[in-house]
Structure 1
Amino acid sequence: LFFFCLFLLIILGTRLWYLQVYKYDHFKQRSEENRLRIIPISPNRGLIFDRNGKVLVDNRTSYSVLIYPVKITPELEKKVELLSKKLEIEPKVVIQKLKYAGPNSPYPIDIKHDIDQDTISYLLENRLILPALTIEHTISRVHPEKSLASHILGYTGEITYDELKDLKDKDYKVGNNIGKTGIEKSFEDTLRGVEGGHFIEVDSIGRKMRTLKTELPTQGNNLHLTIDKDLQRRVEELLEGKKAAAVVMDVNTGEILAMASKPDFDPNIFYSRISSKQWGEIQKLDNPFLNRAISSYTPGSIFKIVTTAAALQMNLATEYRQFYSKGYFNIGKYRFGDWNPYGFGWVNLDKAMAYSIDTVYYELSLEMGINEMKKYANMFGIGVKTGVDLPGETKGIMPDHAWKMKYWKMPWFPGDSVNSSIGQGFIHVSPLQAAVMTAATANGGKVLKPRVLKSINSKAATDKIQILRRLKVSKHNLDIVKKGMRSAVTYGTGSALKRLPVEVAAKTGSAEDPPNKKTHGWVVSYAPYTNPKYTVVVFWQNGGHGGDIAAPIARDIYKYLYKDPIAKVEPTKKK
């Protein structure tokens, strides 16, 4: 009996040592978690301004419903279901958030943002239903100009479980907001700030006993963009009602002064409950969340800038070489037509650029081959991401033999080179890539990295202009390309840009987009011709001929830039 009692004492002592000594830290932590609650203090997310200090994105105070993690029981689930009806949220969403956080977390979970006064009153009157519930001040975003620059600015939204896993080292919690698109996403770490909180001690039923400490939040950093708010508004007005995009960029710095995409959306709808009517109106639009300025499309004849530069640099052509334009070009039994079926007779490169004569480029394409064409296209930024500081940019397509075999399981034919030479076939280019290409032509061969961020808290984001590469095209040959673009305005397809208070150089494009009957309309341009400052690119999806529909929009942008309300316009030619 003695030894049996001794044995029991040894077992009991060992267990007490295990619980009180070995597991001391574990149970101490659990005890702290059970009695500690943290009431979060939201930081002010950084504001976003245009280049002149005009507000683009602001903050406002709102109220959110939060719930402290508790053990999930059938009784709790009934209470959550009752409250969820009033909050107009799914009960399973609340339960899922509680499960993810775990019952021992001291941090409350945001289950409903931006509640109205009626909801606040209801919750205060029925607070005993679920004592773990609390109402706190939070910060919501507001876009004073509604849809203005929505694709650039983007919006914030509640963090997903996948995002929580990916960002587990960045102190995000269930219910937090995070940048979802645009600048809000690209500069999330810069804008978000650091959350503060009141650390309080509570009793067993959650009543506050005392405040242990308070940590104040750290405000997020303000951003100044390169965008000019008034110019952005004017460009968007010109694109209203169209599926279109436009880019205005400084050819010497890469700063984007305006970037518009239509249709667009009002980011404010994401910061409060979206009514079924609002969502129905959004659904009627054609991809309003798609930023067409950084999405790629068939470029048509604007690509002839690349083909011309390549032919000159490869010594396949000079400014004096003559080509005979008869309205078509034969390769074996296949005939490739020109947009002008009657042809232009004997022409040089200047006329080929001005009138956008397809057959000249068909001939040059067979002389240079697709590999050289691709080399120069990539050099200009075609088929390569620009590196703009916005999410979602596509790199487009610049095909060759390997690309076609990979995606089409077919060899490359001479006809593919012919189509590529005029920006048809498989080639896809974004309006922003077209702006970078045009800027490199205008500024003497510097391929710039475009950007929309100018400064953080008024301190320059970068002091250096970022030159991605330099065109391996001589100044002499670039001058020939530029002269051809000027001729397109003075007597060719870009005559809509002729009578302005500044000399403009341009190249129009009309890109076929089967099975749609209407072509994509393009114009790429820069001004002034002799001392370039701006590039203006306009793309109108399935809008028609570039000279007819895109060039007049670019004209009106230049009128705004140079403040000439009465610029005279001549009738435009096709292409």
Structure 2
Amino acid sequence: MALSQHSSLSQQNNARTVGRRYQSLILMLIVTITLMGGVASRLVYLQLLQGERNRQLADDNRIRLIPRQPERGRILDRKGRTLAGSRLSHAVFLWPIANPKERWVEILPELSQILNIPLEEIQDRLEQAGYNSPVRVRVARSISPAQVTALAEFGQIFKGVQVEAEAVRNYPYGDLGAHVLGYTGEMNDEDLKARASEGYRLGDVIGQMGVEAAFESQLRGEWGGQQVEVDGIGQVLRVLEEKPTQAGEDVQLTIDLDLQRAVERALGNRKGAIVAMNPNNGEILAMVSRPTFDPNLFSTYITDAQWQQLQNQDFPFVNRALQGYPPASTFKIVTTTAAIESGAFPSETVLPTFPFIEVGGIQFWDWNRAGFGPLDFRGAMAWSSDTFFYQTALSMGEAPLIAWTKRYGFGQKTGIEIAGEEASGLVPDATWKKAELQEDWYAGDSVNMSIGQGYLQSSPLQVAVMFAVAANGGDRVKPHLLMGNQEAREWRQPLGISPATIGILQDGLRQVITGGTGQALNVPTLPPLAGKSGTAEDPPRLSHAWFGAYGPISKPEIVVVAFAENSGGGGGKVAAPMVRQVLETYFNGTVSTESAAPEEVISD
């Protein structure tokens, strides 16, 4: 009985514990299945749904894009000599994605001290690229050997900082021809925004003025680069893909290096400009402007001290050969043409000259304050008589004078390739004066304009074009700097000047040299020349000095125009010796080591 009850109770207990031994296994199986399902679903999400993104993140962490800037094309003179080229230098690049932002905050102050670059500049460059960017960012150029060594010593600490050799723009003759050549520099934000569609990127170097800017598309070349695999500290393990750079094209100019040296020496440290040009085809043989700058400063990092020194000069980046000034008595070439071609004066006209002529109650004086007696057009040109040309302006009126001024090319750009830096100048007329000054055109305005004063503005290059008309027999040419610019070389516009008038111009300009205000060029070491002086008033400052000449008169092959800004002293005294020094180099190969000194001569 007792046994029976015990047996029944045992059976009940066994029933309640059936499967307990498998319970833990079942639970583990369920958990495992759940975990595996979660992992599997996560893998599906990561590999299928987010696979492309994650692969990109992985690649960004181990694959670096190393773009390589092409070597810029050279700028050559007409004989193939290098005026602008490249040199190897060391640059510092940052790989933004190599570090989190917090780590960059620690690295950059030390990097700033080594490079001697303001911390804010480096931070701005890095932030502009973005901390997750896989593309390197240049933060310094042309660093010193000591800086290269210092960065190498910090190589393990400065993860993401890399030093590499690169080509840097080099101007072997320093500031020689700076305004013609221009300079290069890294693009700023505005440049990048404006030219992003042309394939430019952050850190690109472009031409900023002169030939460098005008021929940017030829000089820049085509980018190349490498896709490389790197380790955890940014060291290259292997090159995955490589595209070679394509160097830019060379640009050959009409500039002659020897003559360029001559015009630079002749002008010296005076403010002003000298232009030398072939009067038959417009080739610019030399062009200088002062004050100037060394374009090498902008090929690397320019210091605050260097920039301040440039700012202390009088607008060193302005190319004065292309800016407008009163052309003074050189303009009497145009006045002579207008007076004769208008029919107001026969070619053999003789007029009395006076100490002054009174117009509208104002006395307009001759430059010598005495007059020169009776003169024809040739003599008036030789002695630069103001009162002679005042009379021609009063008789013919402003219309022919203004019309011929424009026909000679004044008041418009010449067409030279660096036109972005060229002023059009100004040919005033009644409409302009009424709009700008709310005044009518007076006879005194014509009088002033007849001797290249008043509101008239022209550049030394425009004045050179004017001289070329007389030199080549009556055609306007298009100045150009590119040796291969065939269109400009062949462009000649006949002005419709009669042979008789051309003969008077050429005779008068020759007499300037042989017995007038340009006798500084009447020397046996030079072939027969023709020219004209000019002195432009610029109160309350000193006057400007001008002189232009061409030669040989039998077959002219060069025009030289010298302009000295606020020099005082007169064109024949100050500017003519500069022209002579340039022509002595051109014709004789004479090399001067000093600037041309003023001479005591009869001078307008």
SS in structure 2 of the partner of residue 212 of structure 1: strand
**Shift, 1:171, TM fit:** 1.9
Structure 1 residues 99-154: Cα deviation after superposition (integer angstroms, max 9, x where no partner): 32234543211100011122122222223444222111111122222121111112
In 1: Cα distance, 2:94 partner to 2:561 partner:
50
Residue equivalent to 2:386: 358
In 1: Cα distance, 2:396 partner to 2:136 partner:
66
Residues 487/27 of structure 1: CA separation in 2 closer, same or farther (3 Å cut): farther
Structure 1 residues 138-185: Cα deviation after superposition (integer angstroms, max 9, x where no partner): 111222221211111121111111110111122222122111122111
In 1: Cα distance, 2:492 partner to 2:122 partner:
48
Q: Which amino acid letter does the alignment assign opposite residue 71 of structure 2?
A: N
Structure 1 unaligned spans of 5+: 1-14, 455-459
Residues 324/564 of structure 1: CA separation in 2 closer, same or farther (3 Å cut): farther
Residue equivalent to 2:430: 401
Which of these residues, 445, 458, 462, is aligned with residue 429 of structure 1? 458
Are 1:299 and 2:327 matched, yes or no? yes
SS in structure 2 of the partner of residue 325 of structure 1: coil
> Is contact 1:240-1:263 (8 Å) kept?
no
SS in structure 1 of the partner of residue 96 of structure 2: coil
Are 1:447 and 2:476 matched, yes or no? yes
Q: Which amino acid letter does the alignment assign opposite residue 494 of structure 1?
A: G
> Is contact 2:179-2:317 (8 Å) kept?
yes
Structure ID, larger Rg? 2
Q: Which amino acid letter does the alignment assign opposite residue 350 of structure 2?
A: Q
128-137 or 227-236, larger mean C-alpha shift: 128-137
Q: Which amino acid letter does the alignment assign opposite residue 499 of structure 1?
A: V
> Is contact 2:281-2:492 (8 Å) kept?
no
In 1: Cα distance, 2:167 partner to 2:284 partner:
29
Residue equivalent to 2:551: 527
Are 1:512 and 2:524 matched, yes or no? no
Are 1:337 and 2:365 matched, yes or no? yes
276-285 or 102-111, larger mean C-alpha shift: 276-285
Residues 46/354 of structure 1: CA separation in 2 closer, same or farther (3 Å cut): same
**Shift, 1:431, TM fit:** 0.8
SS in structure 2 of the partner of residue 360 of structure 1: helix
In 1: Cα distance, 2:443 partner to 2:371 partner:
22
Q: Sequence identity of aligned pairs in percent?
A: 38
Residues 108/491 of structure 1: CA separation in 2 closer, same or farther (3 Å cut): same
Residue equivalent to 1:411: 440
103-112 or 290-299, larger mean C-alpha shift: 103-112
In 1: Cα distance, 2:528 partner to 2:534 partner:
20
**Shift, 1:347, TM fit:** 1.7
Are 1:47 and 2:62 matched, yes or no? no
**Shift, 1:342, TM fit:** 1.7
Residues 570/118 of structure 1: CA separation in 2 closer, same or farther (3 Å cut): closer
Residues 209/307 of structure 1: CA separation in 2 closer, same or farther (3 Å cut): same
Residue equivalent to 2:140: 112
Q: Which amino acid letter does the alignment assign opposite residue 312 of structure 1?
A: I
Matches within 5 A, 1:68-87: 68-70=95-97, 73-87=101-115
Q: Which amino acid letter does the alignment assign opposite residue 554 of structure 2?
A: T
Q: Which amino acid letter does the alignment assign opposite residue 102 of structure 1?
A: G
Q: Which amino acid letter does the alignment assign opposite residue 196 of structure 1?
A: G
In 2: Cα distance, 1:462 partner to 1:240 partner:
33
203-212 or 540-549, larger mean C-alpha shift: 203-212
In 1: Cα distance, 2:134 partner to 2:101 partner:
19
Structure 2 unaligned spans of 5+: 1-41, 592-597
Structure 1 residues 463-487: Cα deviation after superposition (integer angstroms, max 9, x where no partner): 6624263313223222221211111
> Is contact 2:577-2:599 (8 Å) kept?
no
SS in structure 2 of the partner of residue 167 of structure 1: helix
**Shift, 1:523, TM fit:** 0.8
**Shift, 1:228, TM fit:** 1.1
In 2: Cα distance, 1:61 partner to 1:394 partner:
37
Matches within 5 A, 1:135-534: 135-202=163-230, 206=234, 208-274=236-302, 278-279=306-307, 281-390=309-418, 391-454=420-483, 460-462=484-486, 465-467=489-491, 469-500=493-524, 501-516=526-541, 518-534=542-558
In 2: Cα distance, 1:512 partner to 1:493 partner:
17
99-108 or 487-496, larger mean C-alpha shift: 99-108
> Is contact 2:282-2:488 (8 Å) kept?
no
In 1: Cα distance, 2:186 partner to 2:129 partner:
15
Q: Which amino acid letter does the alignment assign opposite residue 528 of structure 1?
A: P
Residues 314/89 of structure 1: CA separation in 2 closer, same or farther (3 Å cut): same
**Shift, 1:554, TM fit:** 1.1
Residues 469/105 of structure 1: CA separation in 2 closer, same or farther (3 Å cut): farther
**Shift, 1:269, TM fit:** 2.3
Structure 1 residues 487-517: Cα deviation after superposition (integer angstroms, max 9, x where no partner): 111221111122243111111100001111x
In 2: Cα distance, 1:315 partner to 1:113 partner:
65
Residue equivalent to 1:6: none
Residues 25/462 of structure 1: CA separation in 2 closer, same or farther (3 Å cut): farther
> Is contact 2:140-2:301 (8 Å) kept?
no
Structure 1 residues 335-387: Cα deviation after superposition (integer angstroms, max 9, x where no partner): 21111222122221111111111122222223333343222112112111112
Residues 21/462 of structure 1: CA separation in 2 closer, same or farther (3 Å cut): farther
In 1: Cα distance, 2:450 partner to 2:120 partner:
57
> Is contact 2:185-2:206 (8 Å) kept?
yes
In 1: Cα distance, 2:439 partner to 2:272 partner:
33
SS in structure 1 of the partner of residue 277 of structure 2: strand
**Shift, 1:270, TM fit:** 2.4
**Shift, 1:79, TM fit:** 2.2
In 2: Cα distance, 1:422 partner to 1:512 partner:
11
In 2: Cα distance, 1:19 partner to 1:449 partner:
67
Structure 1 residues 512-544: Cα deviation after superposition (integer angstroms, max 9, x where no partner): 01111x211101111111211110111111222
SS in structure 1 of the partner of residue 213 of structure 2: helix
In 2: Cα distance, 1:156 partner to 1:364 partner:
50
In 2: Cα distance, 1:157 partner to 1:218 partner:
20
**Shift, 1:54, TM fit:** 1.8
> Is contact 1:319-1:350 (8 Å) kept?
no
Structure 1 residues 65-99: Cα deviation after superposition (integer angstroms, max 9, x where no partner): 01123387344233223311221222222222233
Residue equivalent to 1:7: none
TM-score, reference length from structure 1: 0.89
**Shift, 1:304, TM fit:** 1.0
Residues 301/111 of structure 1: CA separation in 2 closer, same or farther (3 Å cut): same
Residue equivalent to 1:12: none
Residue equivalent to 2:24: none
**Shift, 1:38, TM fit:** 1.6
In 1: Cα distance, 2:161 partner to 2:236 partner:
13
Q: Which amino acid letter does the alignment assign opposite residue 326 of structure 2?
A: T
Q: Which amino acid letter does the alignment assign opposite residue 253 of structure 1?
A: N
> Is contact 2:156-2:233 (8 Å) kept?
no
In 1: Cα distance, 2:135 partner to 2:503 partner:
64
In 2: Cα distance, 1:19 partner to 1:415 partner:
87
TM-score, reference length from structure 2: 0.85
SS in structure 2 of the partner of residue 386 of structure 1: coil
> Is contact 1:377-1:398 (8 Å) kept?
yes
In 2: Cα distance, 1:328 partner to 1:520 partner:
22
> Is contact 2:479-2:488 (8 Å) kept?
no
User: Over the residues paired in the alignment, what is the CA RMSD in angstroms?
Assistant: 2.8
330-339 or 67-76, larger mean C-alpha shift: 67-76
